Structure 1
């Protein structure tokens, strides 16, 4: 299994771009890597994916050259443990609103002495037969991403970024827009101001910022604002849009 390098690249100041996958297909996961994307987020929160389906997809993504990240359904210890045991490079935790939420995520994602992640090295992450310094390597290589998706999370961002063990604060523009009463209006000034506020806090605390962008133009805007981890669109939507452009280009 390749060494997970996403966390180190982010710590070194590099910008990583990827996409979100909701369809159950290892071939799509591999193609995302072959296309040159740095990572792919397997969205178990908003799709049918499970730990079982995500395991095969993680293997395929790594063959293609993309780091697999699992977005779990909830900030629950058993969900986070399973997401990491399958050999993913990291885990994304939705709806983190308080420092207590952030500490719970770290506790579940990190092995002792940094946390209390349940230990079995006879899993894909441990190359099935175990490996030397397994827990140390997992703590060093696992990327922990927490999502701030509403006003309450923004209000508590100072306390959240103060929690040791978090790598990326990920801003969900669609959920932020919903929390402001303007669902879907991700370009509204209120949404942009809240997100910019978090970017400033993160920069002052040397915390990495991530976000979702509908397209490359939106992605570039947030990269220029300081985001280093940017998920651009959803793979199924990219496929649909590309096929639509092919159909529209044919004169029948």
Structure 2
């Protein structure tokens, strides 16, 4: 059983260097708007409600633009649409949702530049319970990374998830696609990039899966991720269904 993660409290957020940037509100037409002054540089943001964190994300280019996108989600931006609905529901019920931001500096490691913002976001997601961040769950039965699996055109293939229950297979595949969208595709679009590379290991480990690389690879290479996230898979790097597999996508308009 996965150990229950602690809540991230407002006192920890403030003590950890985050500053209050504003809060979410609804305008006269019921549309979600950010009431505050978000910086126009990269950084990490946290949505706080009732004294604890609900969601953490990263802006690769501009915090102001990233927050704006939650109020005006595109038709293919499922994460933005999901968060827009959650925020509007909280506000409609009279709750207050504040936004705290931080801009940690990039670091150097053996000549490599390491993103401080992306590293901080990943550390927070792995360390705390965040109700609006979608985390992976381990399927009831998980094939090992060495299991020989037939190739499938769809990420919903039953072979990709062993003998796990259909609902569990679908739920895990959805979480993989949602994470790819919120962690890779959306930030790349915000930054104006057209090409994204995703490694199976990064998603596998970030979602807390165990020996589920075939599941991750099937979800990342199927038709559904292309349709829902509006991307075109242009290349696979490495073997299929492996911890070393990576995928290169072209972002579509």
Say yes or no: TM over 0.5: no
- Tell which structure's C-alpha radius of gyration is larger: 2
Higher strand share goes to which structure?
2
Higher helix share goes to which structure?
1
